[in-house]
Amino acid sequence: MIKNNKKIILASASPRRRELLAQIGMEFQVLPSGAEEKTGNCSPSEMVKELSHLKALDIFQKLSGGEQAQSLVIGADTVVALDNNIMGKPGNKENAVKMLSDLQGRTHQVYTGVTLIWQEDKSMVQREISFYEETSVTMFPMTPEEIEAYVATGEPMDKAGAYGIQGKCAAYIKGISGDYNNVVGLPIGRLYQEMKKI
């Protein structure tokens, strides 16, 4: 595993991100960020990088000096984009139906931005890495009845693009190009490789 003595902190309340970190045997603490998710970026890739940075920095700055020296904070943000138009979480059933109606039968992109913030052991200088992963997802056509039935499960409500690839929506996924875990919410392979460099 990773050879550093840092305490790993996940600045996210997402159960899916927790599961992915646990899946590779990583020990970590969860401290969800309350940072306001505001960005001036229109580009999906730059937007998720900026938001992941805001979340990681929010938690890093809340740590005491001693805690900062011992911690590595991970921030992440995921969006779905169709024709470069960003789709966040639907918030209500009407938005969820509209998003799924737009996505069905088409190919869209999922972007996850990740930021790592830590202090170097010797110099105590704050360091960070930000990156994003992009995965293309193609969905089978869905009838209005199928969309309504899926939305009625409640699963889409807290997910970007109003669907969970690892849940009931798996029935409508035709194929993906890129990292599956990125669509779930965290490109865990890329994250692990970046953490090895620290």
> What CATH number belongs to 7-196?
3.90.950.10
**For the chain, domain boundaries:** 7-196
* CB-based contact 107:23 (threshold 8 Å): no
Q: Which two tokens stand for residue 192?
A: 């692990």
Q: How far is CA 178 from CA 30, 77, 135, in A?
A: 27, 17, 5
Q: Tell me what pLDDT residue 39 has.
A: 79
* CB-based contact 20:166 (threshold 8 Å): no
- Using DSSP, state whether 116 is helix, strand or coil: strand
Q: Tell me what pLDDT residue 4 has.
A: 66
Burial pattern 23-36, b for ≥16 Cβ within 10 A else e, equals eeebeeeebebebe
Q: Which two tokens stand for residue 53?
A: 């940075």
- Using DSSP, state whether 149 is helix, strand or coil: helix
- Using DSSP, state whether 24 is helix, strand or coil: coil
* CB-based contact 184:21 (threshold 8 Å): no
Q: For residue range 81-130, what is the model confidence (pLDDT) as tens digits?
A: 999 899 989 999 999 999 999 999 999 999 999 999 999 887 888 999 99
Residue of 37, 149, 151 whose CA lies nearest to 95: 151
Given a cut of 50, the residues of the chain with pLDDT beneath it are none
Q: Tell me what pLDDT residue 87 has.
A: 92
- Sign of the C-alpha dihedral computed for residues 49, 151, 153 and 34 taken in this order: positive
Give Cα 77 to chain centroid, integer Å.
Answer: 4
Catalytic one of 58, 77, 158, 179? 77
Q: Tell me what pLDDT residue 3 has.
A: 54
Q: Which residues have CB under 8 Å from 187's CB, separation 6+?
A: 112, 114, 133, 179, 181
Q: Which amino acid is at 121?
A: D
Q: Tell me what pLDDT residue 198 has.
A: 84
Beta bridge partners of 56: none
Report the C-alpha gap between 149 and 93 in whole angstroms.
Answer: 11
Residue of 150, 143, 137 whose CA lies nearest to 180: 137
Residue 77 a catalytic site member = yes
